[in-house]
Amino acid sequence: MTRQSTPQRSIFSASKVLEAIAEELTIIKNEDGLTDADIGRVLGKSEDQAAKYRTATAEMGVVAYASAKREWNGRFTGALDRLCVNSRPGGAAMHDRKAQSAVLEAALALSQALEDDDAISPEEVRDSRATLERARAAIDAQLAKLVRAA
């Protein structure tokens, strides 16, 4: 039995992924005054296929997904990003103080990489990758707090 004070994490399922993408496409369609044909042009798909993505009745391929992400960035991936963060095993988002520390640790690593030659080399990025990934996760967790009104 789950205690009332224990937050439930979101369920990550194929249907939830399709719904997240559909939710964002519908919002973009309405906000930008687009048609399914317009969305299809961005995705390189037909009007009918775009409508299926927008109604969560078809799975989107990676090329269409990348095209949408390129065009609409966080507007397109926001709901899916929140689902991914909030459904992670071990708890949804990291605590705010840990998030702050993770971001500051990454800032320090970048600052130290700049000290010797005012540039950050690929090797220095590789050496700091785990730190940078933790910072990205911390920032994603903060952005996941934003709930878009439908």
Which CATH number covers residue 79? 1.10.260
Both tokens assigned to 148 = 């878009």
As a whole number of angstroms, the distance between CA 69 and CA 140 comes to 16
Distance of CA 76 to the CA centre of its chain: 9
Query: CA–CA distance from 5 to each of 1, 8, 90, 108 (Å)?
Result: 12, 9, 16, 36
- Do 78 and 51 share a structural domain? yes
As a whole number of angstroms, the distance between CA 56 and CA 77 comes to 15
pLDDT (0 to 100) of residue 116: 92
pLDDT in tens, the chain (150 residues): 444 544 455 788 999 999 999 999 999 999 999 999 999 999 999 999 999 999 999 999 999 999 999 999 888 988 888 888 778 775 545 678 888 999 999 999 999 999 999 999 999 999 999 999 889 888 877 877 775 433
Domain final residue, candidates 44, 65, 86: 86
Parent domain of 36: 14-86
- Do 68 and 21 share a structural domain? yes
**Tally of domains within the chain:** 2
The predicted model scores a pTM of 0.62
Both tokens assigned to 28 = 């973009």
As a whole number of angstroms, the distance between CA 59 and CA 47 comes to 15
pLDDT (0 to 100) of residue 1: 47
